[in-house]
Chains A and B, each alone.
Chain A
Amino acid sequence: MSRSPYIYNKESGNRYNFISSGNRSIIKVVEFTPTSKNIYNLGFGDLLPDGEIDDTVKSNNGDIIKVFATVIDILQDFTKINPSFIIAFEGSTFERTRLYNRIIRTYYQSFRKTYFVLGAIETEAGRESVPFDPTTALVYSVFFVKRIE
């Protein structure tokens, strides 16, 4: 992504955090958690003052591009160390899912140099995984990425 990312802290092998310094300072957390199929779920949200995590909040902090550039940077770090891992993520809300679609579509040309990207679509036959197509108007409900280099 063109906007430079924030500097992040690595709490452990799979947990990261950084500060979104827009209108306010908000602590963001990113965690990769293994699922039953050894695919890692990418979780992303705000760490609230009471210690709760909110992954549905609309921060409106004025730095969304920089925040997502940081999440991509973190994804790069994690998959560089664990190149065989498949990372899956889904928006917590339909709005956020649409946002992920827009971001991946926008940056796909550079993203595809490093990752294979699959998207999940809902069909009459059920849920199906297909290669991500940046030209489609479809909204993918889940993304799966795997490092290729």
Chain B
Amino acid sequence: MGTTKKKRVRNVSSNKLKTQNPMDFLTDAQKKTLASEEPLFPEKVKRMNEILATIKLPDYFYSTR
């Protein structure tokens, strides 16, 4: 009686994915944005400046340390 050999199949692509850092797959545009020295949220900063012009924080908040 012959023996049946079971083939061991390795899922190479899935193993490979687990060890790779997704940051390695950044697009050029994403890399450019991350490397930029310009603020990433200019509109939010503009908006926050508008808010800060209309609100006063208590003095104790500035001197808590």
Chain A residues within CB distance 8 Å of chain B:
9, 11, 15, 17, 19, 21, 25, 27, 29, 31, 33, 35-37, 39, 41, 43, 45, 47-53, 55, 83-84, 86, 88, 90, 92, 116, 118, 120, 126-129, 142, 144, 146-148
Q: Which residue of A lies closest to B56 (CB)?
A: A129
Chain B residues within CB distance 8 Å of chain A:
22-23, 26-27, 29-30, 32-35, 39-41, 44-45, 47-49, 51-58, 61-62, 64-65
Cα–Cα, bound, A78→B28 (Å): 27
Name the one of B32, B40, B45, B52 contacting A29, with C-beta atoms under 8 angstroms: B40
- The answer to whether B40 touches A50 (Cβ under 8 A) is no
Q: Which residue of A lies closest to B57 (CB)?
A: A129
Residues in chain B near residue A43, CB distance under 8 A: 39-41, 44-45
- The answer to whether B41 touches A90 (Cβ under 8 A) is no
Other 6 A-B pairs with CB < 8 A, given A41-B45, A129-B55:
A15-B34, A19-B23, A33-B41, A50-B27, A90-B44, A144-B61
Residues in chain B near residue A144, CB distance under 8 A: 57, 61
Q: Which residue of A lies closest to B48 (CB)?
A: A41
Residues in chain B near residue A90, CB distance under 8 A: 44, 47-48, 51
Residues in chain A near residue B57, CB distance under 8 A: 39, 86, 118, 129, 144
The smallest C-beta distance from B23 to any residue of chain A, in angstroms, reads 7
- The answer to whether A49 touches B29 (Cβ under 8 A) is yes
Q: Which residue of B lies closest to A45 (CB)?
A: B41
The smallest C-beta distance from B21 to any residue of chain A, in angstroms, reads 8
Cα–Cα, bound, A15→B38 (Å): 11
Cα–Cα, bound, A110→B33 (Å): 34
Residues in chain A near residue B47, CB distance under 8 A: 90
- The answer to whether B48 touches A31 (Cβ under 8 A) is no
Residues in chain B near residue A52, CB distance under 8 A: 33
- The answer to whether A129 touches B58 (Cβ under 8 A) is yes
Known: A9-B23, A19-B23, A92-B44. A47 touches B30 (CB 8 A): yes
